């Protein structure tokens, strides 16, 4: 398949960054508003999938040298790890905590352990979705 996809390449290079930004926004807004790790992860995965569709798979593989199965496993580990983390403080499994901190640049910021959990979820989603797509694509 040696078609000339100049337009697709040009658009994708631009759009991928917009998608990445949107995914970060969705991820962070998830604490109080609609959004969250799952949706953020799906959008992030769609950015990767778009790259894989538009460019050569091998080229992207070199540029993003992750084993996406391991990304998923790392995410699952982080999520389950927050559950175990609460055991260290003698709380119930999966207990979450939050607090307000004065950070130099951001001002008063709410920091929560749920965000760590959600990071794990997002990584799982990215890893799983990209793995599924790649394992089907590679065969064709």
What residues contact 30, with CB distance under 8 A and at least 6 apart?
Answer: 36, 37, 39, 40, 118
**Interaction pattern, residues 101-130, with another protein; x per rule: CB under 8 A:** ---------------------------x--
Smallest distance, another protein to C-beta of residue 87, A: 5
Cβ proximity to another protein, 94 vs 111, nearer residue:
94
Please give the residues from 50 up to 109 whose contact with another protein meets the rule CB under 8 A.
Answer: 69-70, 73, 76-77, 80-81, 83-84, 86-87, 91-96
DSSP assignment of 22-79: HHHHHHHHTTTSS--HHHHHHHHHHHHHHHHHHS-HHHHHHHS---HHHHHHHHHHHH
Number of residues that make up the chain: 140
Write out the residues near another protein by the rule CB under 8 A.
32-34, 38, 69-70, 73, 76-77, 80-81, 83-84, 86-87, 91-96, 128, 132, 135-136, 139
């Amino acid at each position: 398949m040696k078609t000339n996809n100049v337009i697709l390449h040009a658009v994708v290079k631009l759009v991928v960054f917009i998608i990445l930004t949107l995914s970060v926004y969705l991820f962070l807004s998830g604490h109080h508003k609609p959004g969250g790790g799952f949706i953020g992860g799906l959008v992030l995965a769609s950015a990767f999938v778009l790259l894989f569709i538009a460019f050569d798979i091998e080229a992207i593989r070199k540029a993003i040298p992750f084993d996406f199965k391991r990304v998923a496993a790392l995410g699952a580990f982080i999520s389950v790890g927050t559950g175990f983390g609460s055991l260290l403080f003698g709380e119930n499994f999966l207990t979450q905590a939050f607090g307000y901190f004065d950070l130099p640049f951001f001002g008063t910021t709410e920091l929560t352990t749920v965000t760590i959990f959600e990071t794990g979820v997002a990584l799982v989603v990215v890893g799983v979705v990209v793995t599924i797509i790649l394992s089907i694509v590679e065969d064709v």
